[in-house]
Chain A
Amino acid sequence: MSMNLTLKVWRQKGPKDKGRMVNYRVEDVSPDMSFLEMLDVLNERLILEGDDPIAFDHDCREGICGMCGMVINGVAHGEQVATTTCQLHMRHFEDNAVITIEPWRAAPFPVVKDLVVDRSAFDRIIQAGGFISVPAGSAPDAHSVPVKKVDADAAFDAATCIGCGACVAACPNGSASLFTAAKITHLSLLPQGQPERDSRAVAMVEQMDAEGFGGCTNTGECTAVCPKGIPLDTIAQMNHDYLRAAK
């Protein structure tokens, strides 16, 4: 049942290198392997041959840390819906398939090496206001403010964003709207998030623009590739909060 594959992988030594696609043949791939395990096997071979292994980001390998991410056959995280690259398994590929593998491509995500990109712009968007200011030890009893279940659930749905950046990679404008909107929505649906709601929306949107991400044109590619299915209407919530604050 094992498969033989041809990979076309983006190789780039560093930020200044021009980069190119390089072909690799991988044989005896088990359908039970994850996509990253398939790359592990190739990398071990490359090391023994004295070559540089293909650099890619990954950590938890269970779809929650958000560290992995590559564009597989033109789709961020591959064609499997609601799945991170690490959770993608080889049983979804055909024997003798040709698979192209590229990094996230967006100006605010410069390539570090091969498939590794710098996503620190996301951290700076959070720094601008993606939090509730509550120093440790100052909190009132957790039951002092009840929260409607429907609001808590909707906040949770937005809060499940893993910050992988697939939304940016998929967007024709390289927009970070879905990422930014997910955090704004999460916090503005909760009573605890109200005091800073206006300033948060303005600061995060402005930081997103300052980082060089493009604008949103409601294409919806972001939510289509999002491994956590962050809904597109969070962007409406972001725009609503932004306009509300600007009034």
Chain B
Amino acid sequence: MSTGYTEGEPIRDTKAPEGPIEDRWEKRKFSAKLVNPANKRKLHVIVVGTGLAGGSAAATLGELGYNVTSFCYQDTPRRAHSIAAQGGINAAKNYRGDGDSIYRLFYDTVKGGDFRARESNVYRLAQVSVNIIDQAVAQGVPFAREYGGLLDTRSFGGAQVSRTFYARGQTGQQLLLGAYQALERQIAAGTVKMHTRHEMLDLIVSDGRARGVIVRDMVTGEIERHVADAVVLASGGYGNVFFLSTNAKGCNTTAIWRAHRRGAMFANPCYTQIHPTCIPVSGDHQSKLTLMSESLRNDGRVWVPLKAGDTRPASAIPEEERDYYLERIYPAFGNLVPRDIASRAAKNVCDEGRGVGPGGLGVYLDFADAIRRLGREAVEKKYGNLFEMYERITGEDPYAQPMRIYPAVHYTMGGLWVDYDLQSTIPGLFVIGEANFSDHGANRLGASALMQGLSDGYFVLPTTIGDYLANGPYGEVDEDDVTEAEAEVRQKIEKLLTNNGTRTADSYHRELGRIMWEYCGMERTEESLRKALERIPELREEFWQNVKVSGEADELNQALERAGRVGDFFDLAELMCIDALHRTESCGGHFRAESQDADGEALRDDENFSYVAAWEYGEQGPILHKEDLDYEYVKMSQRSYK
């Protein structure tokens, strides 16, 4: 067991410009070197992943005239998991005149992130948010509109203004298709070369710079090497380390984990977001969890029976024997408290034996009042597709009986460490979207993932990467560095295929997921984390000895793909637990049971933990580098949504 780590030099410079916060991005845009239009096509950029961040980045870099190569593991870039985001996208447009502003979105995001995000980055995100809406509308994204022809908005958890733009329950889909179409336009124009069904298996680092990737053609099995002047990772989050999550089945950590192994620091891996409104697990066969948009909490009321062990159907429980616990505990925000608070509250009432449905792992989300107040038609208009989805999965009609929901892993705030320019600790390696750690602190607010992905991809990266590329092209890549990376990839594949063990990769993944959910999930303790850190290396050892992968290397082999990803999840899981163990405070999505106040609320320890934990890979265990967080604008306070 290794719970140990060593501490290295702190990170002192994040490259954010000095001066008033509202001027910093403007300053950086001006100070960033420009690349002569004629030189851009000589500069080659690799983008891995085609979700909101990667798709928009590849399209925009193509529009600027760079020579772009894009990779995705799906059969087309339009399928990246951003597509599944339901609720909406925040922007400080203040179209409602309800007191919103860039500063308020900045403030809400820093506070929602429980004071563990960088002020400079978050302020820029809030500034850029308004451009995203303009861009998307111009692309033809069919946002919801009012009868006057203007854009509709709704409110979302963690905010008291209505700033969330949406396209029914399919906002992520519509925004992703906008980015996808922009990307296809560039593919047609010849600026972007697209490789679908390709998976990145390693990063090529040469002369201290990121210079390319080793990928596997998932149809032919061929291992390919691609070199470039810069590499952008937009490969998403690592929620699937828990096996069950709302991520797509293919979501994995391999791209960022391999980059970490090559020298990129991994920041705050323990910050995991558990989404409060997911459909509960139905049995051992469960392959993934489905989220019901948080927007449902606008009109749905969350409750459980007042008494433990009450097994009557919802309709037989009278009003006075129900506990609308969010409204009771948090009267100011009610059902709209941030995700981490809503999730933990659900766990608490279930721990008290008041949960509903199979195994008592569920709470009700009830629309009866909304249907009475607004009429069924209005509710159907707003949430129709979500209700349908629920009925399809559970076989229950949510118009007639309350939905059952339970928290599930949804998003990972941690990711590769990046500076203000979104550059990792490996020069030339940029990381955007969920794959980086930068903007959400210890907890992401609803409707902010789409905002960050598109902010990074359309607006931030295309400017900052220019500053790096202006010093390029970076010349020939040392052949030895490429060969070494390729050899490692081949070795691992060979090992998996010749192992001939007795268990499938999925069965190991499921067991790892259970360990993580149990010991490093919604509530973590020193004891649970130590247990996890004992079990994970044992299980990993067994995995490498005993996993069975059928088929060949040179064909479409989904068993092989999965096994490779599970192998990397093991290593990441260990780092997550080490990070969670070292951070003895509670903050945002990281709840340490030892650190709570008298009401059971998360208790931060600003004195000792007001920093980003950036982990460097080390053969003898991870090395911790601290980046101190200073708050000049938002006064640090204990979050209160009461």
Contacts and interface: CB of A to CB of B under 8 A. Distances in A.
A134 B555 contact: no
Nearest to B552: A52
Interface in A112-135: 112-113, 116, 118-120, 122-123, 126-128, 130-135
A44 B507 contact: yes
A155 B178 CA distance: 13
Contact of B559 (A47, A61, A112, A149): A47
B308 interface: no
A80 B158 CA distance: 38
A136 B459 CA distance: 7
Interface string A9-49: 00001100000000000000010111011101101101110
Contacts of B502: 48
A64 B248 CA distance: 10
Contacts of A91: 395
Contacts of B288: 61-62
Contact of B137 (A55, A130, A142): A142
Contacts of B503: 48
A153 B382 CA distance: 12
A181 to B, nearest CB: 15
A133 B138 CA distance: 9
Interface in B551-581: 551, 555-556, 558-559
Contacts of A141: 134
A60 B290 CA distance: 9
B598 interface: no
B124 interface: no
A107 interface: no
Interface stretch (A95-103, A166-174, A185-193, A233-241): A185-193
Contacts of B59: 136
A64 B185 CA distance: 22
B551 A155 contact: no
B549 A47 contact: yes
Interface stretch (B79-87, B361-369, B512-520, B608-616): B79-87
Contact of B550 (A41, A51, A63, A146): A51
A119 B74 CA distance: 11
B331 interface: no
Nearest to A158: B142
A102 to B, nearest CB: 17
A87 interface: yes
A159 B564 CA distance: 36
A36 B187 CA distance: 33
Interface string B194-222: 10100000000000000000000001000
Contacts of A138: 138
Nearest to A192: B140
A47 B142 contact: no
Instruction: Place the interface of chain A in its size category.
Output: 35 or more
A210 interface: no
A52 B552 CA distance: 9
Contact of A113 (B74, B188, B550, B555): B555
Contacts of B550: 46-47, 50-53
B142 A156 contact: yes
Interface in B508-528: none
A122 B78 CA distance: 11
Contacts of B93: 142
Contact of A59 (B74, B140, B290, B291): B74
A147 B149 contact: yes
B586 interface: no
A116 B184 CA distance: 22
Contact of A32 (B182, B282, B556): B282
B150 interface: yes
B287 A36 contact: yes
B295 to A, nearest CB: 16
B133 A142 contact: yes
A159 B142 contact: yes
Interface in B278-312: 282-283, 285-288, 290-291
Given A67-B75, A139-B134, A143-B151, 20 more contacts: A40-B285, A44-B504, A46-B550, A53-B550, A53-B551, A59-B248, A66-B79, A67-B79, A112-B556, A122-B76, A123-B77, A123-B78, A128-B188, A139-B135, A142-B134, A149-B146, A156-B167, A159-B167, A159-B177, A186-B140
Interface of B: 56, 59-60, 63, 74-81, 83-84, 93, 95, 131, 133-140, 142-151, 167-168, 170, 173-174, 177, 180-182, 184-185, 187-188, 194, 196, 219, 246, 248-250, 282-283, 285-288, 290-291, 388-389, 392-393, 395, 458-459, 462, 502-504, 506-507, 548-551, 555-556, 558-559
